[in-house]
């Protein structure tokens, strides 16, 4: 039997450095696009995205009517390749992002955009594959990316059965697509318990 996360553990996963709480899930079908991968790895990531969101009970589609693609994964050797991404400024709203990442030791960067109801509208993930990620197994990396993009986690996570159960619970239609009150963690814990 899977060990369930306690409400305080759940709350910590969605509490930002400034102390604010946000747990949001996708409010629209996920339309993924992946850049910078060889075909054999591309198939692994596509399959992981479909399997991960199927587990959550959330649809994956070919195209978002407003944005075309709304889950965008960019793989590059180094952050110096970031400026080559078309419309990066418009996608991120952060014109200084390439310089910021080039000056950091980060291997990855994730940015969420939200719809008016608080649900995730888009997620952009950039990964620098020349550092620690160079040795990552594609299937493990794919699973990690899918989990990190499924909910508005405030910290890095490592895939686990407990987190898979949390993601499934957060996509329960009885819960709101987004919550800013930490007491939401109690509802999530209750849904996990009900589904175990």
The pLDDT tens digits of the residues spanning 144-185 come to 999 999 999 999 999 999 999 999 999 999 999 999 999 999
Domains in the chain, number: 2
Q: 50 with 88, same domain?
A: yes
Q: 63 with 115, same domain?
A: yes
User: Which CATH number is 56's domain given?
Assistant: 3.30.379
Express each pLDDT in 87-135 by its tens digit: 888 888 888 888 888 888 789 999 999 999 999 999 999 999 887 787 8
Kindly state the average pLDDT of the residues 51-69.
95
CB-based burial, 14-26: b 16+ in 10 Å, e otherwise: bbeeeeebbbbbb
Q: Is the pTM value of this prediction over 0.85? A: yes
Q: 52 with 107, same domain?
A: yes
- Which residues are CB-neighbours of 98 under 8 A, at least 6 positions away? 79, 80, 82, 83, 88
Q: 121 with 36, same domain?
A: yes
pLDDT higher at 2 or 77: 77
d(CA 151, CA 153): 6
Q: 17 with 75, same domain?
A: no
Q: 51 with 100, same domain?
A: yes
pLDDT beyond 60 at 2: no
Pick from 32, 37, 14: which is nearest to 123 by CA? 32
Domain range enclosing 81: 26-150
């Amino acid at each position: 039997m899977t060990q369930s996360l306690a409400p305080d553990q759940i709350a910590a996963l969605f509490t930002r450095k400034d102390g604010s709480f946000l747990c949001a899930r996708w409010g629209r079908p996920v339309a993924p696009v992946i850049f910078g991968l060889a075909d054999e790895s591309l198939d692994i990531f596509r399959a992981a995205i479909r399997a991960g969101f199927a587990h959550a009970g959330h649809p994956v589609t070919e195209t978002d009517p407003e944005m075309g693609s709304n889950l965008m994964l960019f793989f590059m050797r180094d952050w110096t390749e970031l400026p080559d991404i078309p419309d990066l400024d418009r996608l991120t709203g952060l014109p200084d992002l390439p310089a910021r990442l080039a000056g950091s030791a980060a291997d990855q960067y994730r940015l969420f955009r939200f719809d008016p109801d608080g649900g995730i509208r888009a997620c952009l993930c950039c990964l620098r594959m020349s550092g620690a990620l160079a040795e990552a197994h594609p299937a493990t990396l794919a699973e990690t990316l899918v989990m990190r993009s499924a909910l508005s986690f405030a910290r890095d996570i490592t895939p686990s059965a407990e987190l898979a159960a949390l993601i499934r619970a957060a996509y329960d239609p009885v819960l709101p697509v987004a919550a800013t009150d930490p007491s939401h963690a109690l509802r999530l814990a209750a849904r996990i318990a009900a589904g175990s």
